Amino acid sequence: TATLTLATATDSALEGAETVIASLNAATISGEPAGAPQLTLLDGSGTGTITDTTALTVSISDAATVNEGGDLVYTVTLSGTSTTDITVPVTYTGTAADGSDYTSVASVTILAGETTATLTLATATDSALEGAETVIASLNAATISGEPAGAPQLTLLDGSGTGTINDIDLTPPTITVSAPDNTNDSTPTITGTTDLPAGSVVTVTVTDSAGNAQALTAVVQPGGTYSVDVPAPLAEGNYSATATGADTAGNSATVSDPGSIITLPPIASPDKGIGIEDRPVKGNLLDNDHDPEGKPLTVTQFTVNGITALAGDTVSIPNVGKFTLDAQGNYIFTPVKDFHGILPLVGYTVSDGGKTTNSTLTVTVKPVNDPPVANDDFIIHFSPVSGSVFGNDKDPDGDLITLTEFTIEGIVGTFAAGSTVNIPGIGVLVLNSNGNFTFTPNPGFSGHVPLIEYFITDGHLVSSAILEFQHERNPTSLGNIGALIQLSNPTPPLFPVESGGGYSLLPFRAPNNTWSSTQPYSPSRLSLYGDLQDYDLYLTGSLRNQVVQEMHHYSFSIPAGTFRHSNPNEQLEYEASQVDGSPLPNWLHFDPKQLKFTGVPPKGSINTEVMVKARDRYGNEAYATFRVVVKKEHDYSNEDKFKIGHKRVQHKPDHHAQEGLKANQATANMSVKLGFNEQLSGEGKLGRLMESRALLDSLSQL
């Protein structure tokens, strides 16, 4: 045997599988041995196959941009040659339409031995305004045909190419714009028409008389219309609107239209407010005002009684009341008590943020019937007394007042005017409808008469007050009795006092330091004639009881001359408590600097016995007591105020007041009836004060 070896060559041609047939030639065989028979061929040929391993790719390039009517030319490239023609199918996409914008070709063929082929598409010319359009040609490797038998499958290196067709239309679009003229709408709507396709954008620039420009955009609607609202208010005067539109070929058109803004002032109508006496009058001035352009309104200022004020301010008008008006138009007029009539005309200014208008407000306060005013009466007397409680009572409306009934502290029931009432152990009281009264004390009675509450009416409404008596058996000149809290029941002075106070009660001291609270002196050993400088601190008299009313503020003061000191420069310290030393109720506030009581008694407050103490720097003390009587609150509303001829609920007796009265009387009686040993058993400065007062009270009985 022998081996025949053939070397094969490598190339880039796509040629498929190839064969090599080796054939033996028996006629030319040489080298047989001499005389040997001729060799014959049993199988004279053998075949060998060369497999094609070339892997080629195919791609397509983009086409150059052309105008309408030009050809889009794509190049299809094979990465090597082929021994056969290669046909590649082509599909198309893009914005251009096959048939109207271009004519498609189904496939492209690369001839045998060639590496490139061209794909040419003819484009169409039309009159439509459509802008640049694209044609995307895509190769389909799966359906390539014509490869040699046995050759590898072609693959796509770049399977698509894009070509662009430019729109060569040069006619600009048509456009119109309309700017409203002589309008009071400072944010007008700009409108217009165009032949641009629906969805196109029109740019609108609006410039007002102040040079302020606003750039706006509008979208073209089907039918070729567009509109846009001006967002920011335009200044009053002339303005312009300029609209610009462009087609997809780049052709544009611009057009302008002038307009004008005329703003209107707000419309403010006169206002009237009506109220009744002693009640605020409220309202809103803008409720009947409006702005023609729908702008919000505010009040900027107002004038009343010759005073100009800004919105939100308050103007006080003497003897009339207070007037307030805010920017939102809310006003309130608070009249002074009992005012009725017409408030001085109010002028006000309304603004819409640009223009203003003036208008007026007339406020009328109608009168109402006021209840009569009944003031408390306090009388100190030394014999049967008569008078009238109407001396300090009046009716604000000038109506005739009549006393209808009265009650007496400690006695159950209500007494009609004109009744004669016997107050047990005290005296007889007559109180008539014309306000005249007579009080006749029982023989030997001295002291405080139970409080009388009387009721008066003007024929419509009812008020009440307190009549208070203080009966003294021995007359004396009261002199200067102070102010606010008047001194009552004074003890007549037993000797002249240089102070000129009218009357005085001087304490005394024992003639030596051997005095003892456990061994009090008899009256014969007590001295009333020590030097004035020995009597450091003393009380000039007793204090008048005070009447306050539930739920009403009160204020009263201790007269400066109530407590006196032998040293005119001595600075006294004061405090107040209940007579038993317990604190005063919360509603009874005492200011020791001003010697002033203030507060508001709540519902259910009871009469309170008050003790005011004065102290000097040496520890000397003096005391004064009085009673605060709480007058019950009577609530007569507009609906249930007492009417003449109507039955009303009787006032129940004040049990707390009765208890306070009994306690006060008991205290007064005790100060008169205590024996000298009891009277002089106190210690310190308080003891000396009580001794002196008790002694003088006892002497007054002689």
Encoding tokens for residue 83? 């021994």
Torsion of CA 92, 96, 99, 101, to 10 degrees: -140
pLDDT at 78: 87
More confident residue, 169 or 448: 448
Amino acid 135: pLDDT: 94
Please give the average per-residue pLDDT across 669-680, as a whole number.
27
Are 272 and 362 contacting, i.e. CB atoms less than 8 angstroms apart? Answer: yes
Give the pLDDT band (50/70/90) at residue 687: very low
| pLDDT, greater one: 39 or 180 | 180
Which pLDDT does position 659 carry in this prediction?
38
DSSP one-letter string for 244-295: EEE-TTS-EEEEEEEEEE-----B---EEEEEETTS-EEEEGGGG-B-TT--
**Residue, of 692 and 154, whose pLDDT is higher:** 154
- Angle CA 523–524–526, to nearest 5: 65
Do the Cβ atoms of 301 and 315 come closer than 8 Å? no
**Is the predicted pLDDT of residue 110 greater than 60, yes or no?**
yes
Report whether pLDDT(168) > 60: yes
The CATH number given to 189-261 is 2.60.40
Q: What is the pLDDT of residue 48?
A: 73
Residues 603-623 pLDDT 10s: 989 999 999 998 888 888 888
487-700 matches 377-471 in CATH topology: yes
Q: pLDDT digits over 390-432, tens only?
A: 988 999 888 999 999 999 999 999 999 999 999 999 999 999 9
Q: 149: pLDDT confidence band, cut at 50, 70 and 90?
A: low
Return the HEC string of 183-243: ECCCCCEEEEEECCCCCCEEEEEEECCCCCEEEEEEECCCCCEEEEECCCCCCCEEEEEEE
Radius of gyration of the CA atoms of the chain, in A: 62
The continuous run of DSSP H or E covering 137 comes out as strand 133-139
Confidence of residue 248 (pLDDT cuts 50, 70, 90): confident
Which stretch of DSSP H or E encloses residue 432?
Answer: none
Instruction: Please list, in sequence order, all residues whose beta carbon lies within 8 angstroms of the beta carbon of residue 514, skipping any fewer than 6 positions away.
Output: none
What's the rounded mean pLDDT across residues 102-131? 86
Least confident of 247-251, 408-412, 600-604: 247-251
Give, in order, the Cα–Cα distances in Å from 645 to each of 49, 459, 461. Answer: 146, 9, 12
> What was the pLDDT predicted at 127?
66
| Residue 477: pLDDT band with limits 50, 70, 90 | very low
Percent of the chain with pLDDT over 70: 75
- pLDDT tier, 142 (very low <50, low <70, confident <90, very high otherwise): low
Report which of residues 380 and 637 the model is more confident about. 380
The pLDDT-based confidence of 165 (bands split at 50, 70, 90) is: confident
Helix-helix angle 655-673:684-700, to 10 degrees: 80
pLDDT band at residue 658 using 50, 70 and 90 as cut-offs: very low
Chain-wide mean pLDDT for the chain?
78
pLDDT in tens, 261-300: 988 899 999 999 999 999 999 999 999 999 988 889 999 9
Is pLDDT above 50 for 676?
no
Is 564 within 8 Å of 483 (Cβ atoms)?
no
Residue 530 has pLDDT above 50, yes or no: no
Q: How much is the pLDDT for 153?
A: 64
Residue 313: pLDDT over 50: yes
Q: Which secondary-structure segment (H or E) carries 438?
A: strand 436-441
- Alpha carbon distances (Å) from 131 to 67, 166, 223, 243: 11, 7, 20, 21
CATH architecture of 487-700: Sandwich (2.60)
- 17 pLDDT tier (thresholds 50, 70, 90): low
Spatial CB neighbours of 699, under 8 Å, sequence gap ≥ 6: 494
Instruction: Please report, rounded to a whole number, the percentage of residues in the chain having pLDDT higher than 90.
Output: 43
**At 354, is the pLDDT very low, low, confident or very high (cuts 50, 70, 90)?**
confident
Tell me the per-residue pLDDT of 532-545, one tens digit each, with 9 for 90 and over. 344 467 777 667 78
Q: Is the pLDDT of residue 447 over 90?
A: no
pLDDT at 536: 67
Superfamily of domain 1-168, CATH level 4? CalX-beta domain (2.60.40.2030)
pLDDT at 122 exceeding the cut of 80 = yes
170 pLDDT more than 50: yes
Q: How far apart are CA 522 and CA 515, in angstroms?
A: 11
Domain 377-471 has CATH 1.10.8: no
The structural architecture, per CATH, of the domain 271-366 is Sandwich (2.60)
What sign for the dihedral angle of Cα 212, 217, 222, 224?
positive
The residue extents of the domains of the chain are: 1-168, 189-261, 271-366, 377-471, 487-700
What local confidence, expressed as pLDDT, does residue 685 receive?
A: 37
- Is this structure's pTM higher than 0.75? no
Compute CA distances 557 → 370, 488, 597, whole Å.
30, 15, 6
